[in-house]
Structure 1
Amino acid sequence: MVEQIHYKHILDRLVTAVILVDTHLKLSYLNSAAEVLLCVSGDQVLGRKISDCFEELDGDQNQLASAIANNNPYTKRHAKWRLHNNNEITVDYSVDPSADGNSLVIEVQPLDRLIRISKDEAMLSAQETSRNLIRSMAHEIKNPLGGIRGAAQLLGREFGESDLSEYTRIIIDETDRLRDLVDRMLGPRIPAERKPVNVHDVLEHVASVIDVEAGHTVHIQRDYDPSIPNLIGDRGQLIQSLLNISRNALQALMESNTPSPQIKLTTRIQRRFTIGRHHHPLVARVEICDNGPGIPPALISNIFFPMITGRAEGTGLGLAITQNLISQHGGLVECQSEPGKTEFTLYLPLDEHYAEA
């Protein structure tokens, strides 16, 4: 009995999920990592069929039974499991029959987090490359624009009030418009002012602006976690970031004439979260969700890049600026969309030493 308690104590400290099933494929043991992975409590599922906890998608459902009957160990990579709560996870797992043939040991390594980190790193790298390219192009564009504008002003003085002055005015107005567009692409030039910020105060300010702009026709639902501490950041930049996303949601709802339009604001604490190559013990997760028509699939993977927009009159800069501002806070923005539900999720570190860096 002492050996068994010690054995379970060791397995419960592993980060690898370990599942033990008998010859009837009934659960006889799950360590703590397995309980977390499968979203179950061991006390509730022990003695039940393993299929009550999960099923493998596109896999041989009899492979486990064959492994124990034929003493045949095997390993699978990037397998898709559907859990009892209908969530899907991606895992690597190994199956090893015991020496006495009375049980199977299943070791499971979840991959969703690693896949997400790899995807986020690639996205952040691509966006940084895009920003550097834009900065280089912007400076090359602004220099001749200044010369064109100056030349047009000199010509305007020569023409006086003649009919030709209208042409120089158009040249000046258009160069100003292009200069403003380039400035927007470059993002804010004022350094961020780092101070303690209550994320709910920021969200309430955004909600008030959106409510007024919508003429009180959109239901704004709130689901806040009041335990979230202040984060260190620039309040104005955070408001601008969330406002860009919320305005996009509002425009999508209005243009599609969505019945019972709704925008939902949600905050939660996320523990042990990795952004790029930085691991954070605690981050604030902010979700902005609307029930509009959704983002076209052809755009969803590129919406954070400049000049990408699904609206004829859009500039495609709002989300690019948002991602840039959140990146300056050490955070990340993600998006998931389908007809009837578009959700933007912002992750903002709460560890002050990183936010102040």
Structure 2
Amino acid sequence: MKKPLIALDGLDLLASAVLVLRPDSDIAYANPAAEILLASSSKALTNHKLNELFINCQELEQVFQEALEHQFADKRLDLVLERLGRDPLQVHVVVSALDSAETPVLIELRENVQQLKLDREERLIDQSQANKELIRNLAHEIKNPLGGIRGAAQLLEMELPERHLKEFREYTQVIIKEADRLQTLVDRLLAPHRSPHIVGDVNIHEVCERVRSLIVAEFPNGLKIKRDYDLSVPEFRGDKEQLIQAVLNIAHNAAQVLSARMKAGDAELTLRTRIARQVTLAKVRYRLALDLHIIDNGPGIPPDIRDRIFYPLVSGRDGGSGLGLTLAQTFVQQHMGLIECESRPGCTDFRILIPLP
């Protein structure tokens, strides 16, 4: 049984993208949500055919033809629709047959948010695993030559003639100090893989309060730290010191980029805890999870590094080591969790998800 044609005025109010098609697959109407999803005006979309919008349109065209032949009233499918020069769309598609000779088919497109989320999580986990392997191998390759360079500089300094000691000691000290600095960097890279995982009962609000006190001590003026805690979040088993370090790394980065707002006196950092339900992490479904947000009202993460912020040695500020977020992600993943980030000017939100008992 075919559906009657819905009033187009009503389609304008829908949050999902809607296309109404003629029998030859020309688009007769596109609602505002379709304009947003397809990044094109209604005027530009109308009178174009489906295969002019998407490169891999064969399956959608087949379903469109079935709707024309009245083989169903509604049909649902998940598709990845590729577009020339744009990112592919992962969408849930509803194709409906309408009771109209002029516009017999309606296609509704909804972004498949859950699939997008799963794909993003999978990329973060794969990226983190690759980072760990890279860091471990690189650190070990650097460590041995560093010891040789430092030792050689010390021996050279001991062998310098007295009359040249003062003149050349400055150079040997530069070598020794730089070797020590690189050694410290290597030790930081290897720290998550060396340190034992000390498991105990963790109260996430004690973790947040510890981080808050450290941030307040370092940034006493111009920064307001808001606490928005859900006290029903239960304790869980974990390494308290690792979690303090993970949250501190994120909060400290946020405080540093808020320097301009601190001078203006309106810098804000929010620590928010909630319980998330039915969460999928690394393809495993958990009934409950800690949902911790660290939110700042700073300038946002630069777009050119937004997809790489958890890579080692990637930093958005001058003088940053680029290790803080890498280590934070490693520590959280050791708790079977994940850190996600959404950022725009005026709001950067780091979200830590950790399974709860």
Which TM-score applies when normalising by structure 2? 0.73
Q: Which residue pairs with 1:38 in the alignment?
A: none
Residue 254 of structure 1 is matched in structure 2 by 259
8 Å Cα contact 2:74/2:94 also seen in 1: yes
- Aligned counterpart for 1:239 among listed residues 237, 244, 257: 244
Q: 1:289 matched to which residue of 2?
A: 295
d(CA) in 2 for partners of 1:217, 1:259: 4
Find the aligned partners of 1:317 and 1:211 in 2 and give their Cα distance. Answer: 22
Query: 1:315 is matched by which residue type in structure 2?
Result: S
Deviation (angstroms), 1:110 = 7.3
- Asked if the contact 1:273–1:282 (Cα under 8 Å) also holds between the matched residues in 2, the reply is yes
> How far apart, CA to CA, are the structure 2 residues paired with 1:277 and 1:70?
40
* Structure 1 residue 96, shift from structure 2 partner: 5.0
Q: Secondary structure at the match of 2:16?
A: strand
**Cα distance in 2 between the residues matched to 1:258 and 1:116:** 36
- Equivalent residue for 2:179, pick from 175, 181, 186: 175
Q: Partner of 1:278 in structure 2?
A: 284
Q: In structure 1, how many angstroms separate the alpha carbons of the residues matched to 2:144 and 2:347? A: 43
**Counterparts of 2:353 and 2:187, CA distance in 1:** 26
Of 189, 197, 202, the residue aligned with 1:197 is 202
Contact persistence 2:3–2:97 (CA under 8 A): no
User: Amino acid of the residue matched to residue 126 of structure 2?
Assistant: S
2:93 paired with 1:93: yes
SS in 2 for 1:307: coil
Tell me the CA shift for residue 109 of structure 1. 8.6
Deviation at 1:276, TM superposition (A): 1.2
Instruction: Work out whether residues 258 and 293 of structure 1, in 8 Å CA contact, stay in contact via their aligned partners in 2.
Output: no
1:93-136 CA-to-partner distances (Å, cap 9, x unmatched) read 3345699xxxx9x9999721122111211221122112201211
Query: 1:231: how far off?
Result: 1.6
2:170 is aligned with 1:166: yes
SS where residue 187 of structure 1 aligns?
Answer: helix
Where do 1:202-351 residues align within 5 Å? 202-255=207-260, 257=263, 259-351=265-357
- Partner residue, 1:142: 143
Query: Is residue 226–residue 271 contact of structure 2 (8 Å, CA) maintained in 1?
Result: yes
Range moving further from structure 2, 225-234 or 156-165: 156-165
CA gap 1:58/1:260 in 2 versus in 1, 3 angstroms:
farther
Q: 1:50 deviation in Å?
A: 7.5
CA-to-partner distance for each residue in 1:12-48, whole Å, 9 max, x for gaps? Answer: xxxxxxxxx974759xxxxxxxxxxxxxxxxxxxxxx
Which region of structure 1 is more displaced relative to structure 2, 106-115 or 232-241?
106-115
Structure 1 residue 333 displacement after superposition: 0.4
Secondary structure of the residue that 1:264 maps to in structure 2? strand
| Distance in 2 (alpha carbons) for counterparts of 1:213 and 1:59 | 55
Q: Deviations for 1:60-109, whole angstroms, at most 9, x for unmatched residues?
A: 49699x999995655565699xxxxxxxx97413345699xxxx9x9999
Deviation at 1:222, TM superposition (A): 1.2
For the residue of structure 1 that corresponds to 2:15, the secondary structure is: strand
Aligned residues: 298
Which amino acid in 2 is paired with 1:317? L
Indicate conservation of the 8 Å contact 1:258/1:292, yes or no.
no
Note if 1:186 corresponds to 2:190. yes
Cα deviations across residues 268-327 of structure 1 (Å, max 9, x unaligned)?
111111111222111101000011111111111000001111211111111111111111
8 Å CA contact 2:4, 2:98 repeated in 1: no
Written as runs of structure 1 = structure 2, the 5 A alignment for 1:43-82 is: 54-57=14-17, 59-60=19-20, 71=70, 73=74, 75=76, 77=78
CA–CA distance in structure 2, aligned partners of residues 150 and 109 of structure 1: 63
Q: 1:166 offset after TM fit, Å?
A: 2.4
Supply the distance in 1 between the matched residues of 2:299 and 2:122 (Cα, whole angstroms).
Answer: 29
Q: 1:266 to 1:212 in 2, by over 3 A?
A: same
* Secondary structure in structure 1 of the residue aligned to 2:308: coil
Moved more, 183-192 or 138-147: 183-192
- AA aligned opposite 2:325: L
Of 320-329 and 145-154, the range deviating more from structure 2: 145-154
Matched, 1:128 2:129: yes
Between the aligned partners of 2:232 and 2:146, the Cα distance in structure 1 is 50
Whole-Å separation in 1 of the counterparts to 2:173 and 2:18 = 66
**Take 2:172 and 2:281, find their aligned partners in 1: how far apart are those partners?**
50
Cα separation, 2, equivalents of 1:77 and 1:136: 41
SS at match of 2:314: coil
The equivalent residue for 1:115 is: 116
The answer to whether the 8 Å contact 1:56/1:79 transfers is: no
Tell me the secondary structure at the aligned position of residue 317 of structure 2: coil
- Name the amino acid aligned to 1:55: A
Q: 1:34-45 to 2 correspondence within 5 Å?
A: none
TM-score, normalised with respect to structure 1: 0.73
